[in-house]
Structure 1
C-alpha cells in the first residue's frame, strides 16, 4: 500500500449489530445514513466549488470496472486533470493499476465494510489535494447492494454491467440501477460467446429507472469508448 492510502479496520461501514432489535437497527441505520448524507453534502460543496465531475462507479466484482477505468484515464489524462479514489475490502492491486497510468490514486480499504461512505471519500479527497477542474472517479467496492444507499457527494452513479452477468441484474438489484444515471454494458466483445439479450437488459434497467442512459462498450476493443468519453466531457462542461 502506498503512502497516503487509507485502511479502515474491522467493522467500518457496517450496520449489522448482534443482539439489536429490528426497530433499534432501523433507527441506527437511519442515523448512519443521515450522518453520511450530511458529510456527502459537504463533499459535494468541495467538488462543485472546484468544478470537478465526480463519478461513483458501481458494479459487481469482475465487471471489468478497473480495466475500463484505466483505459478511460489513458484517453482523458492528456486533456483534463484526473484522479481516482479506489475502494476495496483488501489489497492495493487496483490502485496500483491506476497509478501505472500516472494518474494519482488513493486506495481505501474498507476491511469488512461492503461499500465506501462519505467519510472515507472525504479523507481520501483531502489526501489527493485535488483543487483544479477535472474528473474524480470513485471506484466503489464491487457490490450491487450496499453502495446504492450511500451518497458520497458524487454528481452521478455509473452502473457497470458485464454481458457475462445476464440481462436480469437490473431487476435483481433494482435500487442500484434506480440510483444510477448511466448504465455501461461492458465487454460487448464477448457477445458472440455468451447467452444474453442486450435489449432485454436495457428494458430491465428502464423498468426500474425510465430515464437511465445506456452505453454499450468494450474497453478491450474500443467499441463504444467514444460515446462514453463524449458523455464524460459533456457532463464536465456542464459544471464549468
Structure 2
C-alpha cells in the first residue's frame, strides 16, 4: 500500500512539474488554457460549442481540444462553431495529463490563439487531480445530476476556479434545489463563483466566455489549489474539501503512447515507467479543420 501511494505521489509530482512549465510556456505565447471537467452527459460539449461560436462571432481567437475514450463525435460537433478543434482519443484512459496536452498543442495550436479550451474526459474523479497547465478550471454540473454532487466529488468542486450549472431550463422538472446546491458548493469551495447556463437558450454563454478572457489577466481572484491530492489523508474539515481524496485515487499511464496526426508518422509519448502501469496505446490526435461557422443544434 505504501509503495502504491509513493508511486501515485511521484506520478502526480511529475505531472505538476510538467504542468508548471507548460503554463509558463503558453502564458509567454499569450495562450490561456481553460480546463473543463464534468460527469458524462452534463452538456459541456454543447455549451462549449456555443461558447466557441460566440468567440468566433466576436473575433476572439479561441481553439478547443476535446478528449474522449473512443469516438470523434465531440470534435465534429465543436468544429461547427468555426473554431479550430482537435480530438484526442484516450483509448480508455480516464483523464488527460500535462504531458499529453503538451504533445497535442505542439505544432497544432494556431498562432495567435488567445484561449485554448480543453474538454477533459467525462469523469469527476481522476481528472480532478491532474493539473494540465490551465489558468482556469471550470467544473460543470447539469441540474439533473442532483444538488449533492459537490459533496460526492469534493476534490473536483474544491479545486474549481468557477462552477457552472448547465441545462438550467430543466431545473423545475428535475426538482433541483438551487439553494441547497449553492450551500454544498460553499462547503467544499468557499467563495467560488457559480454561473447558471443553458445552451438551448444561450443563457450564461457570454459569461463563461468573459470569465475565460478575464483569466488571461489574473481574474478571478478566487484561486484554490488546482490539484488536491487524493493520497493526502490528513485532517479534514466540513468546509474544506482539500483534505478529502478521490474515491479511487487512480494514477494511470500510457506505456506505449502512439500519436496519429492524419499521417503515417508516429510519435511515442513518454511513459511514467511506474511498476503498476498497464501498457496500452496512448491518445490519438485527429485535427478537425474549422468549417464556415454554423449554429450548433440545440440539445
Deviation per CA, 1:111-165: give whole Å up to 9, x if none.
2211000111001111423332511000000001111100000002100100000
1:113 to 63, 70, 93: 93
Counterpart residue number, 1:87: 67
Given the superposition, is the C-alpha separation of residues 224 and 102 from structure 1 closer, same or farther in structure 2, using an over 3 Å criterion? closer
Shift of 1:65: 0.4
1:229 and 2:204 equivalent?
no
* Aligned-partner Cα distance in 2 for 1:222–1:27: 46
* Aligned-partner Cα distance in 2 for 1:232–1:152: 16
Which stretches of structure 1, 4 residues or more, deviate above 4 A after TM superposition?
none
- Normalised by the length of structure 1, the TM-score is 0.86
Aligned partner of residue 77 in structure 1, secondary structure: helix
* Aligned-partner Cα distance in 2 for 1:227–1:41: 27
2:180 to 183, 200, 204: 200
Shift of 1:209: 0.5
- The answer (yes or no) to whether the contact 2:64–2:116 under 8 Å persists in 1 is yes
1:64 and 2:52 equivalent?
no
* Aligned-partner Cα distance in 2 for 1:26–1:202: 33
* Aligned-partner Cα distance in 2 for 1:69–1:77: 12
* Aligned-partner Cα distance in 2 for 1:56–1:226: 17
Bigger Cα Rg: 2
Which stretch has the larger CA shift, 125-134 or 135-144?
125-134
Given the superposition, is the C-alpha separation of residues 77 and 236 from structure 1 closer, same or farther in structure 2, using an over 3 Å criterion? farther
Unaligned runs of 5+ in 2: 220-299
Number of aligned residue pairs: give it: 218
Counterpart residue number, 1:8: none
- Normalised by the length of structure 2, the TM-score is 0.70
* Aligned-partner Cα distance in 2 for 1:123–1:146: 20
1:76 and 2:55 equivalent?
yes
Which stretch has the larger CA shift, 137-146 or 192-201?
192-201
1:218 to 185, 193, 198: 198
What is the correspondence of 1:49-198 to structure 2 with a 5 Å cutoff? Answer: 49-78=28-57, 79-198=59-178
Which stretch has the larger CA shift, 59-68 or 211-220?
211-220
- The answer (yes or no) to whether the contact 2:54–2:206 under 8 Å persists in 1 is no
Unaligned runs of 5+ in 1: 1-21
Q: Whose helix proportion is higher, 1 or 2?
A: 1
* Aligned-partner Cα distance in 2 for 1:122–1:232: 20
* Aligned-partner Cα distance in 1 for 2:60–2:144: 32
